[in-house]
Structure 1
Amino acid sequence: MNVAGSVWAISLVGLCALLLFDLAVVGRRPHEPSIRECVLWILFYVGLAVAFGMGLLAFQGGEYAGQFFAGWITEYSLSVDNLFVFVIIMARFAVPRSAQQKVLLVGIGLALLMRGAFIAVGAAAISRFEWVFYLFGAFLVYTAVRLAAGGDGDDEEFKENAFIRWVRRVLPLSDRYNNAHMTMVVAGRRLLTPMLVVMIAIGTTDLIFALDSIPAIFGLTQEPYLVFTANVFALMGLRQLYFLLGDLLNRMVYLSAGLSVVLGFIGVKLFLEALHNNDVPFINGGEPVAWAPEISIELSLAAILGTLAITAVASLIKSRRVARRELVGPAAAPQPPSPGRDRVSD
């Protein structure tokens, strides 16, 4: 896929302009968005991603369009998993609802910069060393096993990393928020608010998630342009999705299991691709493995969509059953007959 420098420039400027516009709106009027506002923004961003994919289909062909859609859907699903961590962090630091939108936007912006760096490093490594696919595949399979063993994540708890603990020690921090502001004046002294710590927590946590998402999308496409744009579109609208989903996130009890299947599938795909293009001396004498099949992008897209659809339906069914059981539990307990009332036989 040949992408002209002008196309890269237009894409970068356009996507950054969207993020800066969003940042300007939030910075001027931090608030908790309404359901209507969230839905409209999400539809706008999803529409942009679909339009971009259709443009790829028209100008680059179905193969690259399919790679983009598979990568975008996978990254979007992993981003939804990020929202679980966002919810935990917001609750851990008791962030006011009106300030959460700004925290999310800054955190997502930092995540975009981090993922951009990972994409550049990953693309350079892949172009020079085919054996990197073995490492990516092994890492994704390990991540899949870890996610599957982690269950539904009900016991997940945010733990402050070393960098956050260091920030708490060396910086003058207040224990109170000042709306969405980063500083406040207390007794004539200017202090940083907990907003700084929250943003650092989200940024560093998203860096960890990038370690999963970047190898995953490189398993679906090796085109840096598609990898970058799929990640950007997956992050856009994430903060609106945070407010829109709300309690629904807690009902996606099988999301980790579904993502483990997706990541495991992509990990196996990477192994097969590495074997198909093998140049490692101690594997098959450094020659490609002839029997290693290639998994088409169409099959990959179908497997990803099918797995996520089954995951969502199964999660909602289980959550509904649990809610119904909790609701009817006390009422289902047998009641003693009222004294003095005759029993009526059938």
Structure 2
Amino acid sequence: MTVSPLIWAITMVVIVALLAFDYFFHIRKAHVPTLREAAVWSALYVGVAVIFGVLVWVFGGSGMGSEYFAGYITEKALSVDNLFVFLIIIASFRVPREDQQKVLLFGIIFSLIARTGFIFLGAALINSFAWVFYIFGLILLITAGNLLRPDAHGDDQADNFMIRIARKLFHTTEHYDGDKLFTIQDGKRALTPMLLVMVAIGGTDILFALDSIPAIFGLTQNVYIVFTATAFSLMGLRQLYFLIDGLLDRLIYLAYGLAAILAFIGVKLVLHALHENTLPFINDGQPVPVVEISTGVSLSIIIGVLTVTVIASLLSKAGIAQTSINNARRHAVNYLDLEYTADASERERIYRLLTAEESQILAMDPKYRNKAKDIDKIRALVAEAHRQHEEYLAR
């Protein structure tokens, strides 16, 4: 189905309007979103994406509809995995809690722009060179293998190439000045960490696109569906971050599920490349008669793998222990970091979460509790948080 320029224009206006609404009504004034706020807006964005998918199904047919939902679910799952990296970057730069929304919205906008460029580039390559499917398939198979590495989500540093260049070329400061991108230090204009963390997230978004775009092109080659599924999967990612913040560590098998999905789509792409083969050294440049996997089968496998992955993660005792311990460490660090937030009620909320998590940890089976990495350092951090809280109450 060919999508008219009018439909493209309306879609772009709707997406830009949603982003503008997000900024002017939620992010312009720095604040820490409540759990209820995050839940309501996360549900709203998912609802908008589902309604759009239903409209595609009604007006474009079941083929386009199933392609959209397969692409949306896959991109949404990859976006959740990307939140792990966002969490590392934000923690590494010690972004104040009330300013994290602005950083995340910038990441979403940059990601949408970067992925749009990759989408049109990928479409142009596919239309001109059928062998690109081999490359896309290989990229996904390599990415699937990388996800199985123990350090798949990297370490606690966000000192990437772009950040090192920025610090060498420009005058930077170590401290935030509200949510400003520039400040005055020693009479000189300087970059704040707020700008640097946005650069870090923007740089990682480009890397995310390298596996995200081939994955969705493995499910559909309709550029409109690729674009809208990608865009709607990114919308609401900011709210989702605050909704499941602290539960990300619980999804201990998510990387395995995503690896299985990416490997499956990689194989699907290679099979499609063989079916469309034009390379002279494969079957004398003639198409290879292979089985092609339908979109319906793809959608079923994607949903099935993600369902099993999430349920297995939520039921895992090791996952529960890892979540509580990592949350306790994070909340202890945040409580001790005076620059994390200027809101006294937010600090008190963090301390209450810390004590609740500590109670859960003490009630766990020691074999799960003691497996945590750097457990002695975590205990020391928690003890120091208790000491400082007692000092605060004694004032």
TM-score normalised over the length of structure 1: 0.91
The residue type paired with residue 147 of structure 1 is L
Give the structure 1 partner of residue 246 of structure 2: 247
CA spacing shift, 1:135–1:327, aligned 2, 3 Å: same
The residue type paired with residue 363 of structure 2 is L
The RMSD of aligned alpha carbons is 1.9
In structure 2, distance between residues paired with 1:277 and 1:105: 40
In structure 1, distance between residues paired with 2:210 and 2:119: 10
Query: How far off is 1:327 after superposition?
Result: 2.9
Does 2:84 match 1:84?
yes
Give CA deviations for 1:287-327 in whole Å, capped at 9, x if unaligned.
1112x101011110010011111111111122136667863
2:310 to 307, 312, 317: 312
In structure 2, distance between residues paired with 1:26 and 1:38: 11
Higher mean alpha-carbon deviation, 277-286 vs 178-187, is at: 178-187
Q: Identity across aligned pairs (percent)?
A: 50
In structure 2, distance between residues paired with 1:331 and 1:300: 39
2:363 to 327, 335, 346: 327
CA spacing shift, 1:27–1:20, aligned 2, 3 Å: same
CA spacing shift, 1:41–1:325, aligned 2, 3 Å: closer
CA spacing shift, 1:231–1:331, aligned 2, 3 Å: closer
In structure 2, distance between residues paired with 1:280 and 1:268: 18
CA spacing shift, 1:275–1:111, aligned 2, 3 Å: same
The residue type paired with residue 212 of structure 2 is S
Q: How many residues align?
A: 330
Where do 1:63-102 residues align within 5 Å? 63-102=63-102
The residue type paired with residue 198 of structure 2 is M
Higher mean alpha-carbon deviation, 183-192 vs 25-34, is at: 183-192
Where do 1:171-320 residues align within 5 Å? 171-290=170-289, 292-318=290-316, 319-320=319-320
The residue type paired with residue 77 of structure 1 is A
Give the structure 1 partner of residue 31 of structure 2: 31
The residue type paired with residue 81 of structure 2 is D
Which stretches in structure 2 are left out of the alignment for 5+ residues? 325-359, 369-395
Residue 139 of structure 2 aligns to a residue whose secondary structure is helix
**Larger Rg over CA atoms:** 1
Give the structure 2 partner of residue 13 of structure 1: 13
In structure 2, distance between residues paired with 1:28 and 1:97: 14
In structure 1, distance between residues paired with 2:83 and 2:256: 16
Query: How far off is 1:328 after superposition?
Result: 3.6
The residue type paired with residue 178 of structure 2 is N
The residue type paired with residue 126 of structure 2 is I
In structure 1, distance between residues paired with 2:362 and 2:230: 39
Which stretches in structure 1 are left out of the alignment for 5+ residues? 333-346
In structure 1, distance between residues paired with 2:184 and 2:114: 32
CA spacing shift, 1:155–1:85, aligned 2, 3 Å: closer
Query: How far off is 1:330 after superposition?
Result: 5.6
In structure 2, distance between residues paired with 1:219 and 1:154: 24
